[in-house]
Structure 1
């Protein structure tokens, strides 16, 4: 990507990869400029979403961002709390997060995934007004969808390694499999 291509991607909206009745709808904070420039979610080379998704058992192999279209066939999808692309999530304000949370709740009610997985605890807290929420399953239901907060796979999140994130994502996968067996 050239600096010009990245600048031109600012404020673009990247279409969701979603369908009704998914097992998990993963929800990022907002698209990066690389994601907006390519049209592929979690496309920044430093983002660890795709390796973590595979290592946690959600995908049979590590997909490339350009293969995001394979996710619905695996019962998975991707959306964002805030639709517009920025260079960094700290460019978003509290009102954008609150409005994004309301939009996300409406989308989840419409699409009815078994689980909404918000990748970024700060984004979850801001979007849903739950400042004490922690990583893991949440008490909140949206429609009939369960909610799980996951670590942010951004390379800027140095508190989590690929291995520790994969363990947490695998906890969600186990919950998905358990809820499937219970239905």
Structure 2
């Protein structure tokens, strides 16, 4: 991608990868410019979402961003708290996060995934006005949908190693599997 192509992707919206009744709907903060330019979620090469999804057992092999539609076959999907693309998440306002949280509530009510997995504790805290949220399962639900906050897979998130991230994603996978087996 050229700098011009990336700049032209600013404020674009990319389609969600969703269906009704998913096991887990992963929710990013917002698309980066490369994701918006390619139309694929978590497209930046340094983003660990796709490797961690595989490492945690959600997918039998590591998918490429261009294969994102294959997630639906595993009962998984992707959306974002804020739909518009930016170069960095810190370009988003608190108002955008809160408005995105309301859109997300409506989306979850319509799609009814078993779990909503927000990848980024700060985004979750602002979007859902929950300053005490921590990584892991949340005590509240969105309708009947359980909520889990996961570490942000961005390469900029140096607080979490790929292995530690895969372990946390794996905890969610186990919970989602137990829930679907019980139903």
Partner residue of 1:23?
23
2:40 maps to 1:56? no
Partner residue of 1:135?
135
Structure 1, unaligned stretches of length 5 or more?
none
Partner residue of 1:115?
115
Partner residue of 2:90?
90
Partner residue of 2:76?
76
Partner residue of 2:163?
163
2:169 maps to 1:173? no
2:36 maps to 1:36? yes
Partner residue of 1:6?
6
Question: 1: distance between equivalents of 2:7 and 2:82?
Answer: 18
Q: What SS does the aligned partner of 2:125 have?
A: helix
RMSD, aligned α-carbons: 0.4
Question: 1: distance between equivalents of 2:180 and 2:82?
Answer: 29
Q: What SS does the aligned partner of 2:61 have?
A: coil
Q: What SS does the aligned partner of 2:109 have?
A: helix
User: How far did residue 143 of structure 1 move?
Assistant: 1.4
Partner residue of 1:152?
152
Report how many aligned residue pairs link the two structures: 183
2:99 maps to 1:102? no
Question: 2: distance between equivalents of 1:99 and 1:139?
Answer: 22
Q: Which runs of structure 1 show a deviation greater than 3 angstroms over 4 or more consecutive aligned residues?
A: none
Q: What SS does the aligned partner of 2:45 have?
A: coil
Superposition TM-score, scaled by structure 2 size: 0.99
Question: 2: distance between equivalents of 1:133 and 1:29?
Answer: 16
User: How far did residue 180 of structure 1 move?
Assistant: 1.2
User: How far did residue 140 of structure 1 move?
Assistant: 1.5
Q: What SS does the aligned partner of 1:71 have?
A: helix
